[in-house]
Structure 1
């Protein structure tokens, strides 16, 4: 028998603020949610999910449990209850038939987005702390074709990093090709991204109080 999870406390201000910001940017048909990662969140993993996640580090399993806690509730909102979201060998979550989605977490916050395939072809989400991206990481992520003029310059690199992560999550289920940062071009000015595989995705993001980017490809 799995140990009982700790009761969920009332929404914390950081959760409420981010949940509202996500709801404001999500396109029609996409449901989003967030959760501060708590002690005991690993117990939210359904048995099939727990078996599919090889990581034994408590922090990683807590984060996976928190992200799936959100996703289970988002799926329940569209009538899909008690369905596992196992981890595929590629690392991507396996969504119930007729749905698509994406999960992400940083050290403290988990986020999720789900939609019916009838409403959206693919989704990708990423969450990052609202801090400048280290220069050495920026040098690996950015290319001369990326455009970030309209973004907060203090956080532009971080938004760019999250955008490329989100785009990769959105396009990998469609093409099953591994892409590097140089294979994804992001234009934050227009809210669009393209890949060397010929995919084009829409981008929306918020900073409240974390950087979250949602990439999506319409039906």
Structure 2
């Protein structure tokens, strides 16, 4: 379902479950040496999905290793994003000449613990969520807010090279222009992130999973920071993926 949330020029692949066969690069395998089986499966499957996307764009797959902030570094000329949650894995990749930033996140369609909601949402967002819940109680808006902010942070990190707290963005769920489903949202940076452009995203709830995605066209974001000396590519998304 991830392909429904991004433009046609973005290669997208998802999977409910795990890839049966995918050989990790030695450098990738070292990252999960000693990890529990579930961690190895999700790590391997999102890299399988990413490899499918990279090949679709005419590139040879390469190791996806963490950059300075923990997000995967993509082959030069590409941007991408990874996500996984219980039973679902996804990747999106695009040419940097076409798309300047990507961020996706998937979460189980379940309530957030109250203590987490209080950390994630501002007072204004809490009022927004209450109104949404009253009108559409079948959607876990608290979890979707978390999902949308995670997608935004995965886009933000490679562009700015900085961490950002949950209070650095305000999310409004509203239809995007031409969105017949009404599954749009807008993220407006706040506080320390003020000055970064607002971005639009799309979301879906299906098969017990919430997925949010943001794709921004080339030229609509600040220039990407160069990778540290000796590191190829750009760090984009998927902290700990």
For Structure 1 versus Structure 2, the TM-score category normalised by the shorter chain is: 0.7 to 0.9
Question: Is the contact between residue 205 and residue 213 of structure 1 (CA under 8 Å) also seen in structure 2?
Answer: yes
Residue matched to 2:222? none
CA distance in structure 1 between the partners assigned to 2:67 and 2:28 by the alignment: 10
Unaligned runs of 5+ in 2: 176-184, 219-241
CA distance in structure 1 between the partners assigned to 2:8 and 2:18 by the alignment: 30
| CA RMSD, Structure 1 to Structure 2 (Å) | 2.2
Question: Is the contact between residue 104 and residue 212 of structure 2 (CA under 8 Å) also seen in structure 1?
Answer: yes
Per-residue CA deviations over 1:66-92 (Å, capped at 9, x if unaligned) read 101000001101111232222224210
CA distance in structure 2 between the partners assigned to 1:133 and 1:120 by the alignment: 32
Single out whichever of 168-177 and 125-134 deviates more from structure 2: 125-134
Aligned runs of 1:69-108 on 2, under 5 Å? 69-108=48-87
Aligned runs of 1:136-175 on 2, under 5 Å? 136-146=115-125, 147-148=128-129, 149=131, 152-153=136-137, 154-175=139-160
CA distance in structure 2 between the partners assigned to 1:217 and 1:55 by the alignment: 37
Q: How many residues align?
A: 198
Residue matched to 1:213? 212
Unaligned runs of 5+ in 1: 1-18
Tell me: higher relative CO, structure 1 or 2? Use CA pairs within 8 A at least 6 residues apart.
2
Per-residue CA deviations over 1:17-61 (Å, capped at 9, x if unaligned) read xx3xx22221242222212343866x5322222234577232222
CA distance in structure 2 between the partners assigned to 1:143 and 1:54 by the alignment: 39
TM-score, length of structure 1 as denominator length: 0.81
Per-residue CA deviations over 1:126-150 (Å, capped at 9, x if unaligned) read 1011122222221111113334555
| Counterpart secondary structure, 1:44 | coil
Taking a change above 3 Å as real, the CA distance of residues 83 and 213 of structure 1, as seen in their structure-2 partners, is same
CA distance in structure 2 between the partners assigned to 1:25 and 1:108 by the alignment: 19
CA distance in structure 2 between the partners assigned to 1:53 and 1:88 by the alignment: 16
CA distance in structure 2 between the partners assigned to 1:161 and 1:54 by the alignment: 30
The one of 180, 185, 188 aligned to 2:165? 180
Q: How big is the shift at 1:108?
A: 2.1
TM-score, length of structure 2 as denominator length: 0.74
CA distance in structure 2 between the partners assigned to 1:145 and 1:218 by the alignment: 29
Residue matched to 1:115? 94
Residue matched to 2:189? 195
